[in-house]
Structure 1
Amino acid sequence: MNKLALVFLLVMAQACAQKTYTGNLDQLGKFPSKLKEVSGLEVTPNGNIWVIEDSGNKGQIYKVDKDGNIKKSLKIDHAKNRDWEDLTVDTEGNLYIGDFGNNKNAREDLVIYKVPHDEMGKKEPNAYKIEFTYPQQKDFPPKKDSLYFDTEGFFHLNDHLYIFTKNRTRPYSGKTLIYRVPDKEGEYEAEFLGALFLCGDQDHCSVTSVDISPDGKTIALLSYGFAFLLTDFSTPDFTKSSIKIIDLQTGTQIESICFYNNNTLLIADEENNHGGRKLYELKLD
């Protein structure tokens, strides 16, 4: 095979891999003004929808309905909101709060708070700390071409929390790094699982939230304007997944995603100059 033919095949393979589909977000409701910066969203096994806000906001979790109305708020005891960025839940209903937002890649106090399901009925639920570090990060912050250690998305699966980092590299590499830590209280060095290339557009390809479907067959990664659906993977190696890219056709700051069921995603955005502060539904084919 000559070089020209090889280049053509590589270009065609890349084009096929990056085929983009169109998604239609259906607005369900709008959050009240006190929830301008919803950064994490999750549905517990009993069907309750919980949301959090990121840095500069209270260390509280909010139960909302599908219209975006607040039904309950709980202050998490012994938990400070340094930069809460995502929520996930396990099959027993234990809730996990990812306090791992790290815009400048300078934090050395990354933590995930575990709120036991039997604490959720209390006014101020207690939380346990899962503290962790990234073994690849040696400098705080690292050089611009190594800014991989901001994080806004994770999910729970089989006694582990899987973490997908938000890429802030310059020049932009298009990769998210994947790690995991145990779901139990303690201090850990996160286990590095690999890097996943999403796409090369720094405005649309950095992960802002992650979730896995109830049946464990699909992982949804959210970015600004796009959703990436990962299928055909083998745990814990997600780097060889099939990836479907969905253009959500929105210019708002979408920050949160979760599965409502195996075929339906809930998505929330923060309020900015383009609108936002809304809760959406996306039906999957």
Structure 2
Amino acid sequence: MIFSCQHEKNESVLSNLPNILKEVSGNEVLKNSSLIWMINDSGNSSDVYGVNRQGEIKKVIKINAKNHDWEDLASDEKGNLYIGDFGNNSNTRKNLRILKVASSDLSKNKAKVEIIEFKFENQHDFPPKKSQLSFDAEAFFYFQKHFYIFTKSRIPDKFGETLLYKIPAKKGKHKAIYIGKFFNGKENASWITGADISDNGKTVALLSQKNVLLFSDFIGDDFFSGTLKIIPFIKQTQKEGICFTNNKTLLLTDEKYMFKGGNLYEFPIK
């Protein structure tokens, strides 16, 4: 792998988010919508929020599915929205799933979802041994009729290790097939908490509290091959949401904790 490390970079604050989004865990933009769609993680209501660039909530959609632990959002070329309900802190969940919200329902106040279920092909114990706590997840995206899921490690000294899996983007029960892994560091600031792929399919962005990882020139869907650019943050906050608005610009969100975070950021990349 060819890699480079850019100088530390400060993201630009677009707006403060309202208190109801203080635990925002994912964000996404859609071709058929001018809003930025956001969700909260476990312990919050089963709502999807449409927010403008000024941080104002313009739309709320009640989803007819429980928020076990919603962790990320993705979308496809038809404008359908997908909720990653696969947060798995204890590595014991057997009901990992992705919820499909049809594009036609984004204008409504309530939406029924199609459920896509999966399990990791190499998880056999619930929970596994402490040395194998690699089945939590907070990041995924849609690409060429598949979902690509990046796990979050709970293994001491390997918090930044993320495993990449794929499943078909269709209703049913699937096995998540292992593709590869990447190591972002030992400390929990290295946890992978969000992911997206550019519209042209040429750049994958992974998010952690300490940096953005940009993968390009990869072969097929082996995203960890090819070229890697690492962009460290000047300020570390609990960043959990990332999405491309175009091939060279990212939107980031972070949770509000004490007097830090709770913002929507714009993050240009070269």
The TM-score range, normalised by the shorter chain, is over 0.9
Match of 1:160 in 2: 146
Match of 1:267 in 2: 252
Question: Contact 2:240/2:255 (CA < 8 Å) preserved in 1?
Answer: yes
Instruction: Report the 3-state secondary structure (helix = DSSP H, G, I; strand = E; otherwise coil) of the residue aligned with 1:27.
Output: strand
Question: Contact 1:254/1:270 (CA < 8 Å) preserved in 2?
Answer: yes
Amino acid aligned to 2:202: K
The structure where strand makes up a greater share of residues is: 2
* 2:26 is aligned with 1:40: yes
Instruction: Report the 3-state secondary structure (helix = DSSP H, G, I; strand = E; otherwise coil) of the residue aligned with 2:70.
Output: coil
Task: State the TM-score, normalizing by the size of structure 1.
Answer: 0.90
* 2:116 is aligned with 1:104: no
Match of 2:101 in 1: 115
Tell which structure's C-alpha radius of gyration is larger.
1
Give me the whole-angstrom Cα distance separating, in 1, the residues matched to 2:178 and 2:247: 28
Match of 2:211 in 1: 226
Deviation (angstroms), 1:122: 2.0
Match of 1:68 in 2: 55
Question: Contact 1:97/1:114 (CA < 8 Å) preserved in 2?
Answer: yes
Question: Contact 2:167/2:177 (CA < 8 Å) preserved in 1?
Answer: yes
Deviation (angstroms), 1:158: 0.7
Deviation (angstroms), 1:251: 2.5
Give me the whole-angstrom Cα distance separating, in 1, the residues matched to 2:251 and 2:160: 25
Match of 1:51 in 2: 38
Deviation (angstroms), 1:182: 0.9
Amino acid aligned to 1:280: Y
Q: Deviations over 1:93-131 (max 9, x none)?
A: 010000000111111110100111112222211110000
Question: Contact 1:251/1:274 (CA < 8 Å) preserved in 2?
Answer: no
Deviation (angstroms), 1:252: 1.6
Amino acid aligned to 1:24: N
Question: Contact 1:23/1:282 (CA < 8 Å) preserved in 2?
Answer: no
Deviation (angstroms), 1:137: 0.8
Match of 1:210 in 2: 195
* 2:149 is aligned with 1:182: no
Match of 1:4 in 2: none
Question: Contact 1:253/1:269 (CA < 8 Å) preserved in 2?
Answer: yes
Give me the whole-angstrom Cα distance separating, in 1, the residues matched to 2:160 and 2:40: 26
Task: State the TM-score, normalizing by the size of structure 2.
Answer: 0.95
Give me the whole-angstrom Cα distance separating, in 2, the residues matched to 1:281 and 1:271: 17
What's the RMSD between the two structures over aligned residues?
A: 1.6
Give me the whole-angstrom Cα distance separating, in 1, the residues matched to 2:194 and 2:169: 18
Deviation (angstroms), 1:168: 1.4
Unaligned 5+ runs, structure 1: 1-12
Give me the whole-angstrom Cα distance separating, in 1, the residues matched to 2:120 and 2:7: 34
Deviation (angstroms), 1:20: 4.5
Q: Deviations over 1:29-48 (max 9, x none)?
A: 01111111000000011232
Q: Deviations over 1:147-186 (max 9, x none)?
A: 1110000000111011011111124274211111111111
Give me the whole-angstrom Cα distance separating, in 1, the residues matched to 2:55 and 2:159: 36
* 2:52 is aligned with 1:27: no
